[in-house]
Structure 1
Amino acid sequence: MSSESDIRQIVTRLLPAPEPMPDAGDLVADFVLEELGNEPPVPAAVLIALVRRGSGYNVLYTRRSGGLRKHSGQVAFPGGRIDPEDHDAAYAALREANEEVALYPEDAQVLGYMPYYYTGTNYFITPVVAIVEPRAPFVPNPGEVDAVFEVPLDMLVQEASYQTFRIVHRGQKRESWQIDFEGHRIWGITANLTRRFRDTVLAGDGHVA
């Protein structure tokens, strides 16, 4: 997954624009850990950054700060809520990446979008896929991020890189994908999104457009 033809194939498997939010009653949450209330879904965006390194690409991840109120210490893609002043999901994802790890938006070329992902915490996530050629090292914002790391794209396309993560929460068994890399454990929403990216975009097992 390092040639220009690979990137062209990736583009053909992405959506040219974010999917609109359907009626709330049509949304089905993945990896539910708590009962969803009657609040409307929260629009959010994450950046799946394909960081060019030499002749190949890595995918950028963060480990959230241990001081955060929600999901502290967990691995995530850069991203967050889409604010009213954000132009679109890509703008929000790149803004958040700049705030979290000092990724310059000008260093990113947006390739397209994956279908929305609705979480068990009531977030309506638009995954934004972009090539990034960083002009400087990524620097974690200590208020939000404890660490930043990259996983080779060639590893993420391999079936053997994925295991099953199991958790018992309030007496209920839940499962997600799991990826282990150099002491980092990726699970839950982030692992499920990575697997979906692998299946539909990298491996091309399903066409998303």
Structure 2
Amino acid sequence: MSDKGLPEWLEPVARAARTIAPEQLSRFLPPEHGGRQAAVLILFGEGERGPELLLMERSGSLRSHAGQPSFPGGALDPEDGDPEGDGLLRAALREAEEETGLDPAGVQIFGVLPRLYIPVSGFVVTPVLGWWRAPSAFHAVDPAETARVFTVPVVDLTNPANRATTVHPSGHRGPAFLVESALVWGFTAGVIDRILHFAGWEKPWDRAKHVTLDWRA
């Protein structure tokens, strides 16, 4: 363990979080004004196959990002407090508990990534990094919002055979991961891709391997 209570394998992520610039994470950056503040929890744990990430799959009936795998998270509520203070951290933990049933007392926040923008929904999203030092049970709390909750071993995320480039009907291309019977793409895949890169975990992969997205995506 490090002096901050983190496992040694997680230190590269903590270091990257302290130095990474917004434009190194995404080309979609928040506008000067507007946008709804939100936070997601990027939760690292230790599973049977080593380091892993907690993800969820959104219900197919939702109006935005339906059926997409994502990090737990959502918009700030008034009770979360100041978004310039600890409000975003509280929002990330509260949403994770509401969506996955995990116990936030077992999560150690160890970093915050720069705010990013999701143009299709107008959210200004802050990725909050957590270490699951005391894992708890998880499940899809509300099936109307969450189809399932699952963990993905980091070794599967770094496996070149599980990587691809998605091609959206709009022409936009981005990284994707084919893991746990899911296609992880969009905002979530973009952030995972950058974390793997800046943590030094990325392995060369075939960017010419394309997956065409449905027009409803």
Tell me which of 163, 184, 187 is aligned to 2:185. 187
**Structure-1 residue corresponding to 2:123:** 123
For residues 105 and 187 of structure 2, the distance between their equivalents in structure 1, rounded to whole angstroms, comes to 27
Instruction: Give identity over the alignment, percent.
Output: 31
Q: TM-score, normalised by structure 2?
A: 0.75
Q: Distance in 1 between matches of 2:79 and 2:67?
A: 29
Q: Which residue of 2 aligns with 1:81?
A: 75
CA distance in 2, matches of 1:177, 1:74: 14
SS at match of 1:127: strand
Unaligned runs of 5+ in 1: 21-26, 31-36, 205-209
Moved >3 Å (runs of 4+): 133-136, 157-161, 201-204
Match of 1:53 in 2: 47
Given the alignment of the two structures, is residue 11 of structure 1 paired with residue 10 of structure 2, yes or no? Answer: no
Contact 2:156–2:179 (CA<8 Å) still a contact in 1?
no
Contact 1:52 1:131 in 2 (8 A): no
1:99 alignment partner, SS class: helix
Cα shift readout 1:41-90 (whole Å, capped 9, x = no counterpart): 11111111102224722101111012212111111110011223214211
Structure showing greater relative contact order (alpha-carbon pairs closer than 8 Å, 6 or more residues apart): 1
Query: What's the offset of the Cα at 1:153?
Result: 1.4
Q: 2-side partners of 1:164 and 1:69: how far apart?
A: 25
Q: Residue 95 and residue 155 in structure 1: after superposition, are their counterparts in 2 closer, same or farther (change >3 A)?
A: same
**What is the number of residues matched between the two proteins?**
187
Q: Is the contact made by 2:13 and 2:198 (CA closer than 8 Å) also made in structure 1?
A: no
* Aligned mates of 2:116, 2:159 — CA distance in 1: 22
Cα 1:201–1:42 change in 2 (3 A) is: farther
Distance in 1, matches of 2:87 and 2:70, equals 20
Q: 2:35 — aligned with what?
A: 41
